[in-house]
Structure 1
Amino acid sequence: MGITTLSSREFNQDTSRAKKAATAGPVFITDRGKPAHVLLTIDEYRRLRGERGTSLLQALTPKNPSQDFNFDPPKLGRVSKPADLD
């Protein structure tokens, strides 16, 4: 796990670099030479928070939201009688 340190200016100028670095470990972002923020991947953040398992929202969220999926539930027969209005 590598630690990367970027100044606020470097972070603002190259956020993609910071995001790539966060996949290898925490990215410390400094203000006037002092650590002010830490960038982590969501998985690392959840691990640190002690979150376990998969929530319903995570289970239902597609891994790649740009891809469509087929949902073809089975057809049910008539489940009730029509109302007799006479």
Structure 2
Amino acid sequence: MGATHTVNYREDIVKQIRDLKLETPIKYVFIPHTPADKYIVDSAAICASFGKVYSIVQTQEIPMYGTEFVAKSLTFIWELLGTKPDY
């Protein structure tokens, strides 16, 4: 399918990414399923400074402030599917 590396979302994603010892930092993360709040924390740990995190799922809490997410100046983009037809 063209993937250079894959990770198992059922295991520790941060550890799996670090074990890959990637030469190029991760700049973009896409979160397609819940629990989004857990993946937001993981994204902050693996994403390079000024990276972008995209999500299409809702969550009640987004743990960003006072965390590595803000310290790295990451951008969070929340895409609600169906916005264009609704508005």
Q: TM-score range by the shorter chain?
A: under 0.3
Tell me which protein shows more strand as a share of its residues: 2
| TM-score for the superposition, normalised by structure 2 | 0.26
> Highest relative contact order (Cα 8 Å, sep 6+), 1 or 2?
2
| TM-score for the superposition, normalised by structure 1 | 0.26
| Higher Rg of the two aligned structures | 1
